[in-house]
């Protein structure tokens, strides 16, 4: 009887050993993968571009100038991993809670815990947001005078700047056409602005307010004179028949 019991116990032990000792098969082991497959930000660009084996990123400052908040969207490499952004759980592939970005440096920690609960990866995102830019230039007309209203209108296209001065008084003789208006053409070269042209209407008269508005597109400049007096109609009519007071006009330059 005793020998029979020994045989039975031995049979059970052999059976358990064949099944992996009763602890389950290797196929049921929990994943140790704590990597991210992707990480994106709602404003700005990660620098460097995301890579699962890169754990530190910068964002800004120029891109962050107007953004007071952002979200991060992490995507786990393994579906069983758990992700937190700034300590709050985030579903893989979904945006995080809104992260406030004040005018300073904001570190954000993205933490990934593998399915096994032991392996962890941490991705650090450093966001820099600037405040208002410092003044770089102060621009005045070459013939500044009281009441010119230089700066009444402005247009900027790349390195070209046009400034309207609707109250400027210049004429054939110095300052003999009150509030006829003018526009000033500036060009930036090597980071320095300089005045290139002083623009007046061909039919300049008192009170035309030439320079009330300006628009610039590439090599084309348009200047408005809201109280010009010509009775012309359409394009390229008679500019010099001033029988329609304050009718206004626009002038195109190339």
Domain CATH number, residue 43: 2.60.40
**How high is the mean pLDDT of the chain?**
88
Residues 118 and 40 in one domain: yes
Tell me which of 95, 128, 161 is where a domain ends. 128
- Structural domain boundaries, residue 60: 29-128
Residues 187 and 110 in one domain: no
Tell me which of 128, 161, 190 is where a domain ends. 128
Res 14: pLDDT: 38
Residue 23 domain-assigned (yes or no): no
Residues 37 and 120 in one domain: yes
Residue 101 domain-assigned (yes or no): yes
pLDDT at 20 over 60: no
Residues 155 and 233 in one domain: yes
Distance CA 111, CA 153 (A): 52
3-state secondary structure of 249: strand
Residue 1 domain-assigned (yes or no): no
Residue 138 domain-assigned (yes or no): no
Distance CA 147, CA 168 (A): 7
Residues 108 and 201 in one domain: no
Distance CA 208, CA 130 (A): 43
Tell me how far the alpha carbon of residue 184 is from its chain's centroid: 30
Residues 163 and 109 in one domain: no
Give the count of domains, the chain.
2
pLDDT at 26 over 70: no
Res 114: pLDDT: 97
Residues 195 and 241 in one domain: yes
Are 126 and 105 in contact by the 8 Å Cβ rule? The answer is yes
pLDDT classification of 199: cutoffs 50, 70, 90: very high
Residues 158 and 122 in one domain: no
Residue 10 domain-assigned (yes or no): no
Residue 196 domain-assigned (yes or no): yes
Residue 190 domain-assigned (yes or no): yes
Across 232-237, average pLDDT: 94
Res 250: pLDDT: 97
Residue 18 domain-assigned (yes or no): no
Tell me how far the alpha carbon of residue 75 is from its chain's centroid: 24
pLDDT at 49 over 70: yes
């Amino acid at each position: 009887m005793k020998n029979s019991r020994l045989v039975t116990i031995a049979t059970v032990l052999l059976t358990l050993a064949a099944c992996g000792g009763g602890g389950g098969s290797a196929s049921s082991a929990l994943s140790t993968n704590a990597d991210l497959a992707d990480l994106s930000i709602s404003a700005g660009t990660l620098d460097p571009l995301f890579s699962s084996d890169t754990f530190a990123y910068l964002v800004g400052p120029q891109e962050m100038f107007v953004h007071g908040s952002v979200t991060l969207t992490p995507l786990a490499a393994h579906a069983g991993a758990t992700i937190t952004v700034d300590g709050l759980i985030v579903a893989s592939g979904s945006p995080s809670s809104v992260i406030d970005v004040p005018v300073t440096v904001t570190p954000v920690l993205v933490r990934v815990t593998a399915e096994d609960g032991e392996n962890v990866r941490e991705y650090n995102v450093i966001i820099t947001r600037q405040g208002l830019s410092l003044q770089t230039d102060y621009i005045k007309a070459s013939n500044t005078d009281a009441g010119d209203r230089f700066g009444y209108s402005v247009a900027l296209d790349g390195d070209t700047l046009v400034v309207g001065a609707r109250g400027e008084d210049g004429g054939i003789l110095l300052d003999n056409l009150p509030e006829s208006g003018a526009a000033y053409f500036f060009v930036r070269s090597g980071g320095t602005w300089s005045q290139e042209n002083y623009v007046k209407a061909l039919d300049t008269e008192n009170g035309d307010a030439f320079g009330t508005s300006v628009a610039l597109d590439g090599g084309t400049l348009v200047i408005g004179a809201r109280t010009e007096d010509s009775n012309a109609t359409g394009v390229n009519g008679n500019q010099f028949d001033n029988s329609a007071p304050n009718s206004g006009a626009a002038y195109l330059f190339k």
